[in-house]
Amino acid sequence: MKFKINQKNEGITIKLVDSNKIDTDFLMLLKNNNIFKGLKNEIYFDVINNVIYLGIGEEEKLNYYDLKIIFYNLGQTLQKNKIKSISFDLYKINNLCTYRLALALSSGLLHSTYVFENYKSNKNDVVDTEINFNVVENKVNKVQEAIKEAENIVSGIFLAKNLVNEPANTIYPETLANIAKNELEPLGVKVTIYGKKEIEEIGMSAFLSVARASEKEPKFIVMEYLNNPESEEKIALIGKGVTYDSGGLAIKPASSMVDMFTDMGGSATVIGAMKSIALNNLKTNVIALVASCENMISGNSYRNGDIINSLSGKTIEIINTDAEGRLTLADAIYYATSNLKVNKVIDLATLTGACYSSFGERVSAVVTNNDEFYQDLENAAKISNEYIWKMPNISYYKNMNDSSVADIKNAGGKFGGIMTAGLFVGSFLADENIPWIHIDIAGTAYINTPYDHYNKGGTGVLVETLYNLFK
Ligand code: BES
Ligand code: MN
Ligand code: ZN
């Protein structure tokens, strides 16, 4: 998809239609015949006059996100009809400023171009449509900036989607680390990859317990983007990077195992967010960390009943080898807050089946120790139209992780799985007062039922929210 501004082209003209302002004879005819009424998300392609009409419902009720979806749908129509070029007069719509307007239209259109068919022998030929926006002269720069920002955000989201969609035979710790390096280093992010020996030297023994049955070497990936020397603030983004979760000795049933190549969804989100942040050159300091491994089975597996160590020195009773994500996160979060001394932490993880069954595929669950920090995230989620929900953080749930033989246990029992898993991770902060947010994306990182501008598969969930938080 190529965006142009104020260029004459022979393409198809796009017109918005307010359902209360059907004013031409032609539109009246369509309405009277129940073909097109200008309702939100209706599309009518007038092939004789080369016009596509987009229904917007009532203009005064239209918001940023509605427009994004309307233009996402337009993008799909362009693809379906193999349309090579279109032209649209960008004038004021409702109360949106030109910048937000251009951002909504271009990001909606860009989202419609996503396909994942690396493994299809018969690929659809994708048309590279030219989009021409006609704009008044003094708004040209604003529109250009908005298009660039949209392209950069979507590029981070597409990276996250691809990482999730790739199966575990192509994405494993080493390839994940190499992709992070190749994608981010050219953008000014320092990427350090620690192998097994170095991870041992650091002392991340909880992480290594999970990794140990796999033939694939674990990798600890640290990505530093320090672009605001004036600020003391350094925020860690930690992503669960379990590239395959068989459950370990507590093996999952076959049907629950199929999708477990997506168990690195947290790492995909943080790598994608780093890309969007760095591409747009945000003035901020972020360090992303991924302790990546596979949870497999061998004669060397860690076992239910083992008592293991961790980087923090806390001992952990293993109740269930399938509660592996929190063990990898425990060492990463301790490393971030102790070795790297970050002052705030956000971790993202496809952590619990409990989250999936409670919230389905639309809402991510949050556990936090800091309401002010949460408020910032909620604001960022709102403008990104992504859904998060704050769970109760009370000692009742935390105490469920108490072990009779070790300092803590890795599964809290049958109640409150989202909270017990989240609070397990939080108890590995080097200092419990460090503002921390945990986000469980078990249901949202990879979806079976498409909605809005999300297709089936990896979603890149919360890349945009994190980007907007840092912005
Ligand atoms: N990766 C899974 C959680 C998951 C389940 C993600 C479904 C996406 C979809 C996680 O490692 C896991 O297995 N959690 C267990 C924990 C339990 C053993 C305490 C769970 O939720 O069943
Ligand atoms: Mn598991
Ligand atoms: Zn897992």
Distances (CA, A) of 91 to 143, 144, 391, 464: 11, 15, 42, 26
326 given a catalytic annotation: yes
Name the packing angle between helices 371-384 and 463-470 (round to 10°).
Answer: 120
Residue 379's contacts (CB-CB under 8 Å, 6 or more residues apart) are none
pLDDT at 8 over 90: no
Measuring from atom 13 of ligand 1, which residue has the nearest CA?
A: 322
Q: How far is the CA of 409 from the centre of ligand 2 (A)?
A: 15
* Separation between Cα atoms, residue 25 and residue 471, nearest integer Å: 47
Parallel/antiparallel/unpaired status of strands 241-245 and 285-295: parallel
Q: What distance in Å separates the CA atoms of residue 355 and residue 442, rounded to the nearest whole number? A: 6
What value does the mean pLDDT of the chain take? Answer: 97
Is residue 9 very low, low, confident or very high in pLDDT (cuts 50, 70, 90)?
A: confident
> From atom 8 of ligand 1, which residue's Cα is the shortest distance away?
442
Q: Which atom of ligand 1 is nearest to the CA of 445?
A: 8
| CA neighbours closer than 13 Å in the CB half-sphere of residue 16 | 19
Burial of 172-188, coded b for 16+ CB within 10 Å and e otherwise, reads bbbbbbebbbebbeebe
Diameter of the chain measured on Cα atoms: 80
Q: What is the pLDDT of residue 391?
A: 98
Homologous superfamily (CATH) for 153-470: Zn peptidases (3.40.630.10)
153 neighbors 111 (Cβ within 8 angstroms): no
Q: Is 471 a catalytic residue?
A: no
The CA 187 to ligand 3 mean position distance, Å, reads 30
Rg, C-alpha atoms of the chain: 24
Among 385, 392, 370, CA closest to 437: 370
User: Ligand 1: which residue has its CA nearest to atom 16?
Assistant: 323
Phi and psi dihedrals of 314, rounded to 5?
-70, 140
Distance 324 CA to ligand 3 centre (A): 6
pLDDT tens digit string along 392-431? 999 999 999 999 999 999 999 999 999 999 999 999 999 9
What pLDDT is attached to residue 126?
85
| Predicted confidence (pLDDT) per residue in 140-180, tens digit | 999 999 999 999 999 999 999 999 999 999 999 999 999 99
Q: Atom 3 (ligand 1): residue with closest C-alpha?
A: 352
Instruction: Work out which ligand 1 atom sits closest to the CA atom of 295.
Output: 11
Single out the catalytic residue among 15, 148, 252, 390. 252
Euclidean distance between CA atoms 78 and 85, whole angstroms: 9
Closest ligand (CA of 293):
3
Q: How far apart are CA 254 and CA 398, in angstroms?
A: 31
Give 50's contacts (C-beta < 8 A, 6+ positions apart): 11, 12, 13
Task: Measure Cα distances from 469 to 282, 286, 359, 379 in Å.
Answer: 11, 11, 23, 8
| Cβ < 6 A, ligand 1 pocket | 245, 263, 320, 322-325, 350-354, 356, 411, 417, 442
Indicate which atom in ligand 1 lies nearest the CA of residue 256.
7
Ligand 1 centre to CA of 318 (Å) is 15
Could you give the residue range(s) of every CATH 3.40.630.10 domain in the chain? 153-470
pLDDT tens-digit series, residues 376-397: 999 999 999 999 999 999 999 9
Q: How far apart are CA 207 and CA 222, in angstroms?
A: 15
In the set 161, 240, 326, 398, the catalytic residue is: 326
What is the CA(69)–ligand 3 centre distance, in A? 32
Q: What's the 193 CA to ligand 2 centre distance in angstroms?
A: 24
Angstrom distances, CA of residue 455 to CA of 159, 248, 348: 15, 31, 21
Identify the sign of the CA torsion 367, 208, 354, 317. Answer: negative
Q: Tokens 């250009």 identify what position?
A: 144
Whose CA is closest to atom 7 on ligand 1? 353
pLDDT in tens, 217-270: 999 999 999 999 999 999 999 999 999 999 999 999 999 999 999 999 999 999
Residues whose CB is less than 8 angstroms from the CB of residue 362 and which lie 6 or more positions away in sequence, other chains included? 387, 443, 444, 451
Average of pLDDT values for 350-367? 98
Residue type for position 377: L
- The CATH homologous superfamily to which domain 2-134 belongs is Leucine Aminopeptidase, subunit E, domain 1 (3.40.220.10)
pLDDT single digits (tens) 72-124 = 999 999 999 999 999 999 988 989 999 999 999 999 999 999 999 999 999 98
For residue 420, give the ligand nearest its CA: 1
Q: Measuring CA to CA, how many Å separate 33 from each of 27, 28, 36, 308, 381?
A: 10, 9, 8, 71, 41
Instruction: Say which ligand is closest to the CA of 262.
Output: 1
pLDDT confidence of residue 124: 85
Domain with CATH 3.40.220.10 in the chain: 2-134
Looking at the CA of residue 324, tell me the nearest atom of ligand 1.
Answer: 11
